[in-house]
Structure 1
């Protein structure tokens, strides 16, 4: 700036920036506090919304898992939306209804067929016995004996199917009584001694005489017969089938173990299925229903059963009572 006398002066203007710096500091503090809070709120909100959106899927998953236990009466409820999830739930319920109806019709057919087949098979057995007793020559005797053997096997399968079907339908009424386990095991092993000796199998009993349990005596006998017979059938010459029992943590652990051909890892999950036979054990001497009946007997009593095996090293069935 130049004055009248030609003199030049300079004017410098300034102001304190303390207010600006304080504002920036406050803004920085707000950002440091607000941004994490906002991110946390966003994450929580996203999780909550995702959980809310996926809740129907979880319900569908729970229902699907329950089917593994054979509970086909379950249905997906509480999903009223008409979006994709709602349509999926409706389709799933429709599939369950069709499956339940199909299984019910299968059970009814099995029950009806088993009931109707008993009479003609009994007639065949009677005629085969009569023919074998009065056959004019050896060839006829052998043929009649073959018919009698197969008809007896068929009769056994029909009886087991009928018992199994009635059991699954809930028509069997348990008749519980106090049983001394050692006495029952001794009776079962005595009944199977001849069959075991024919296969070169030694039967071993290790059941303390003090152990008692409440069970249906007829079903309990059938359970032991099936498991011990299974051990004899798939045992090896010179081998053993052992029945052990002990008390542990308020439960009775009953174990039937053999050292025979064993069960493969792939076959093990299916051994309780009806008519299932592992490839290495496939033959015509059994019905394929023994272990299915064992599982039903265990379940109807409210017990549990586990199977463990290695090929070539035998199988072990453990029942927790």
Structure 2
């Protein structure tokens, strides 16, 4: 069953249940209060009529005219002799059989209260039973003969013009409510169907599908959240395709170089050429190994599968270790390096932080000028550990600073250098895991400063 059909079905069920409950409540109210009140009111009227007719000593003919006039006011009346002879006034009774209680009026009973005691039909429907037993009655003397006078309200008088107006109003409200429910349910389900269609399109990787839902309610909020999800999925899909393309390119380039130079080694070459080509093959193999290692680290961090092992780590000692391991590269370029550090401990993963320092200090060396400078500072201030790495290298254009953390992104001036374009992405992921922030400022041909801030709390 579709949503619209289900909504209409449940609405109909609720209306039916409401009508049923209303009917039960109305019947309880009628039986408990209204029925007896109507009986007593009719009894007062019939007793006053009998009293007026007796006091004025009306003849049967005059009494008949009088009772006929009363019938025009919305009553059904019957004048009965002791022998059962009956004269009715107003709308005729469908059933005119007298019961024992009615006959008891001729044997000394003063009144008959049939409206209160009548039970031949179900609950409130007794009010509409056109039966002489569904009346009230009393006795009177008319022309020296004892008679019984019975009275009830005429059913046709129950539906007055005012009642018809009220009934029309209720009917109009009911029809309008049903139409309103149908229109609102259609509008509601239309938005949900649109969301369903959009979901199917997203499942088919159509992230550009326009979602035509503009509402200010909860469904509108759902649609806005869906659009944000759609944009993120589109961005993720684009990044995934770009990632695959970059990985393919970065793997293909060294593999082609290895293949090409391997084929050259099969030819007759001088020893110097052989060593040269062999060195190139080794360099490309190291590049592939480094790329694979960084991809594995980045993927495992992304997926939360990296074996995290946090413990107290001396940050200053790590920085000294990394610099010491890269001394040959520093000396090769004639760089001057200064380290200003305090003994600083931090609860962190030693291996991940070492990888971050290797990337950052390696970049400071790689993109520095010959005979340039590198300064490293590590201090603790106000429950924060601050690490600054400054170099006097080639610098980065301002418009490229926002992109340097993108995976496989390389600054144009650095494309001819060895690298994978993953280093800073790994650094950002590592620092994010340690709730640390990183800021990079740079000026072209003046150098770059990297500032990392850890919170010891």
TM-score range with shorter-chain normalisation? 0.5 to 0.7
From the superposition, tell whether residues 248 and 142 of structure 1 become closer, same or farther in structure 2 (CA, over 3 Å). same
Contact 1:200 1:236 in 2 (8 A): no
Q: TM-score, normalised by structure 2?
A: 0.45
Deviation at 1:243, TM superposition (A): 1.1
1:84-117 CA-partner distances (Å, limit 9, x unpaired): 9966962761562474387379769979x98xx9
Figure out how many residues of one structure are paired with residues of the other and give that number.
235
Choose from 432, 435, 448 the match for 1:299. Answer: 432
Choose from 248, 256, 279 the match for 1:145. Answer: 279
1:180-224 CA-partner distances (Å, limit 9, x unpaired): 22221111111111101111111211111x311111111111111
Where does 1:82-121 land on structure 2 (aligned, <5 Å)? Answer: 82=215, 90=223, 93-94=226-227, 96-97=229-230, 99-100=232-233, 103=236
The 3-state SS of whatever aligns with 1:179 is strand
Residue matched to 1:248:
381
More off after superposition, 135-144 vs 258-267: 135-144
Deviation at 1:81, TM superposition (A): 7.0
Q: Determine the C-alpha separation between the residues in 2 that align with 1:269 and 1:102.
A: 16
Unaligned runs of at least 5 residues, structure 1: 1-79
Match status 1:181 vs 2:315: yes
1:44-86 CA-partner distances (Å, limit 9, x unpaired): xxxxxxxxxxxxxxxxxxxxxxxxxxxxxxxxxxxx9747996
Choose from 274, 277, 284 the match for 2:410. Answer: 277
Deviation at 1:154, TM superposition (A): 1.6
From the superposition, tell whether residues 109 and 262 of structure 1 become closer, same or farther in structure 2 (CA, over 3 Å). closer
Contact 1:184 1:221 in 2 (8 A): yes
From the superposition, tell whether residues 193 and 277 of structure 1 become closer, same or farther in structure 2 (CA, over 3 Å). same
Q: Determine the C-alpha separation between the residues in 2 that align with 1:238 and 1:140.
A: 32
Where does 1:116-265 land on structure 2 (aligned, <5 Å)? Answer: 137-138=270-271, 139-208=273-342, 210-265=343-398
Q: Determine the C-alpha separation between the residues in 1 that align with 2:243 and 2:413.
A: 28
Deviation at 1:317, TM superposition (A): 0.7
Higher RCO, 1 vs 2 (CA within 8 Å, ≥6 residues apart): 1
From the superposition, tell whether residues 85 and 283 of structure 1 become closer, same or farther in structure 2 (CA, over 3 Å). farther
Unaligned runs of at least 5 residues, structure 2: 1-212
RMSD value over aligned CA atoms?
A: 3.8
Q: Determine the C-alpha separation between the residues in 1 that align with 2:288 and 2:386.
A: 34
Match status 1:310 vs 2:407: no
Q: TM-score, normalised by structure 1?
A: 0.62
Contact 1:258 1:315 in 2 (8 A): yes
Q: Determine the C-alpha separation between the residues in 2 that align with 1:102 and 1:266.
A: 21
The 3-state SS of whatever aligns with 1:256 is strand
The 3-state SS of whatever aligns with 2:339 is strand
1:210-253 CA-partner distances (Å, limit 9, x unpaired): 31111111111111111111011111122111110111111011
Deviation at 1:255, TM superposition (A): 0.7
The 3-state SS of whatever aligns with 1:242 is strand
Larger radius of gyration: 2
Where does 1:29-68 land on structure 2 (aligned, <5 Å)? Answer: none
